[in-house]
Homo-oligomer: A and B are copies of this chain.
Amino acid sequence: MTVAPSSILSLTETAESIGRCTLFKGVRSESLLRLAESARSVFLPRNGTLYRQGELADDLFIVVSGQIGMFLPLPNGAEKIIVLARSCDSVCEATAYLGVPHTATAVAKVDSHLLAISSEVLRQQAQQDAGLACQLLEAMSNRVIGLISDIAGSSPRSSLQRLSYYLLQFRAEDNPRVYGLTLPASKRDIAAKLNLAQASLSRAFRQLLEMEVIAVAGRKIQVLDAEALAEFCRNGEDNGAD
């Protein structure tokens, strides 16, 4: 992991960068500046390790650009991806806030640029700025909900159900029957997130494809019948067209 002094950017620029992150949106600039003072700029090449499970969390990371994957090493050598963080996302808020060992390992999926904020400063600032604390609270709440959603998505035994659930998460608010999406990562990583073998995911895609519920073009996917997907999630059985 390459660490560059944040001085490449001015303090105010750094503060702005931090403020753009969803985690700190709306936080008053004074707090932002404090955080920026403690920030280090980190560049991580593709496949570079940001931290490993078990290491102490001294920093909160903000993804400026690139993509970071947090995963759990699994007994059989495989890995389970917990979060895929992209621009403006933050990583390891919980462990950083608590200052405890990282629960997962984080690596860059592509060349990435991040900001490391001292967890100690973060705690201090949270104590003094309730607005900041509440913002963190909100982000953390969303993370909790996201994790529970992940658990929900990984709990069904059937690979078809897991994939259906996953694809359904990209559906817009107004619940359209047809919609498009782009996979945020390689199929291999998606499989790791859904706790499936690459091969199993591939077969699941094929099933959906042959049922004409989706159309696939590389990472671009067209959902042709979201209702059918939802039906899979409920019943686990195919009811095709009704």
Q: A92-147: which residues lie under 8 A (CB-CB) from chain B?
A: 93-95, 97-98, 100, 103-104, 123, 126-131, 133-134, 136-138, 140-145, 147
Q: Point out the residue from B103, B145, B156, B195 that lies within 8 Å of A100, measured CB to CB.
A: B145
Task: Tell whether, in the assembled complex, residue B235 and residue A148 are in contact, meaning their CB atoms are under 8 Å apart.
Answer: no
Q: Point out the residue from B72, B130, B144, B156 that lies within 8 Å of A76, measured CB to CB.
A: B156
Q: How many copies does the complex hold?
A: 2
Task: Tell whether, in the assembled complex, residue B137 and residue A130 are in contact, meaning their CB atoms are under 8 Å apart.
Answer: no
Q: Point out the residue from B74, B100, B130, B148 that lies within 8 Å of A130, measured CB to CB.
A: B130
Task: Tell whether, in the assembled complex, residue B126 and residue A72 are in contact, meaning their CB atoms are under 8 Å apart.
Answer: no
25 contacts between A and B (CB under 8 A): A72-B148, A72-B151, A75-B156, A75-B158, A75-B161, A75-B234, A75-B235, A80-B155, A82-B151, A93-B144, A94-B145, A97-B137, A97-B138, A97-B141, A98-B142, A103-B148, A104-B148, A126-B137, A130-B130, A133-B137, A137-B137, A144-B144, A144-B147, A147-B148, A151-B154
For A37, list chain B residues within 8 Å (CB). Answer: none
Tell me the complex Cα distance, A152–B82, Å. 9
**A88: interface (CB < 8 Å):** no
Q: Point out the residue from B93, B95, B134, B157 that lies within 8 Å of A126, measured CB to CB.
A: B134
Contact with B along A156-200 (1 / 0, CB 8 A): 111001000000000000000000000000000000000100000
Q: Point out the residue from B93, B126, B136, B141 that lies within 8 Å of A98, measured CB to CB.
A: B141
Question: Nearest 9 pairs between A and B by C-beta?
Answer: A133-B133, A94-B144, A94-B141, A130-B130, A140-B140, A80-B155, A75-B236, A147-B147, A103-B148
